[in-house]
Amino acid sequence: MVTSRAKHKWGMVVDLDRCNGCQACVVACQAENNLPINDKNAFLQSRAYEWIRIERYWEGEYPNVRARFIPVLCQHCENAPCEPVCPVFATYHSAEGLNVQLYNRCVGTRYCINNCPYQVRFFNYWHPNWPERLENQLNPDVTVRTRGITEKCTFCIQRLRRAELQVERRGGGTLNNETLKSGNYMPSCVQACPTNALMFGDQQDEQSPIKPYFDDVNKHNIHHEHERETRGYRLLEEMNTKPNLIYLKKVDKNPVKGGQHG
């Protein structure tokens, strides 16, 4: 009757070999999660934000230059540095392995933002504004965050809840890879990715496409990185935050020497 939730441990795999930096995920996220429009003023004050951003790195010297892209979103760390510093428990780790932000508990201390090594938490410095017509496209399943609270990627938990409801409607059972697919559940960035660089699934589910990567990376920790069979790695792995996100290294046959961020 009631969908069993206890066993899930959601995770995402980002294949950098497939990412071409098109930013479709950024736009999809913005539309799904009621993110305000980043206008020029927001950029000038360095207060523009996206829950998922494409970081761009340049490699090599002109004219032999290459761009590298890394999509960075909330890593949903198992040892999340943002969680213990919140004085009001507005952020906590759910049983499903998600790092959850509760907007109505948040009082805006910004401790979590300062403690996040990935810079994926954002503060609402202003009340969000949309052009008048765009207000009609706001997602009713997502709260519109007011001024003075912190927000971040939720792995589109509203879609997850909807998928659970669909499974229940069809006669109950567990949310696994099969029902996820049939319910068409995935975070909006995963759905929008044209090259399938983003993969989403349950780490506990044998059928899940992400499971082999998580198994491999969990088996060989940072000190045995060279023993890994897949290209998997985690961002800032040496900090032991244990993210539920895994990146797959880009395979580059002819690497260019010298890189820079920009």
Structure tokens at 32: 């799904």
Task: Name the residue nearer to another protein (CB basis): 2 or 44.
Answer: 2
Burial class from Cβ neighbours inside 10 Å (0-12, 13-18, 19+) for residue 139 reads middle
168 binds another protein (CB under 8 A): yes
38 CB-near residues (< 8 Å, 6+ apart): 48, 49, 50
Query: 152 with 125: CB under 8 angstroms?
Result: no
Phi and psi at residue 54, in whole multiples of 5°? Answer: -100, 110
Strand order in the sheet with 53-59: 66-72, 53-59, 259-261
Q: Does 95 bind another protein (CB under 8 A)?
A: yes
Q: Tell me the one-letter amino acid at 176.
A: N
CB of 159 to another protein, least distance (A): 11
* 5 is a contact residue toward another protein (CB under 8 A): yes
Nearer to another protein, 154 or 203 (CB): 154
Q: Which stretch binds another protein (CB under 8 A): 114-122, 154-162, 223-231, 253-261?
A: 154-162
Q: Give the residue, chosen from 165, 181, 182, 219, that forms a contact with another protein under the rule CB under 8 A.
A: 165
From first CA to last CA, the distance across the chain in angstroms is 52
Specify the amino acid at residue 33. Answer: N
| Site membership for another protein, residue 100 (CB under 8 A) | yes
Q: Which of 40, 46, 62, 104 binds another protein (CB under 8 A)?
A: 104
Instruction: For another protein, give the closer residue by CB, 70 or 102.
Output: 102
Residue 2 found at the interface with another protein (CB under 8 A): yes
Task: Supply 73's token pair.
Answer: 């979103």
- Count of residues touching another protein (by CB under 8 A): 23
| Residues from 123 through 152 that contact another protein (CB under 8 A) | 141-144
Binding site for another protein (CB under 8 A): 1-2, 5, 92, 94-96, 98, 100, 102-104, 141-144, 154, 157-158, 161, 165, 168-169
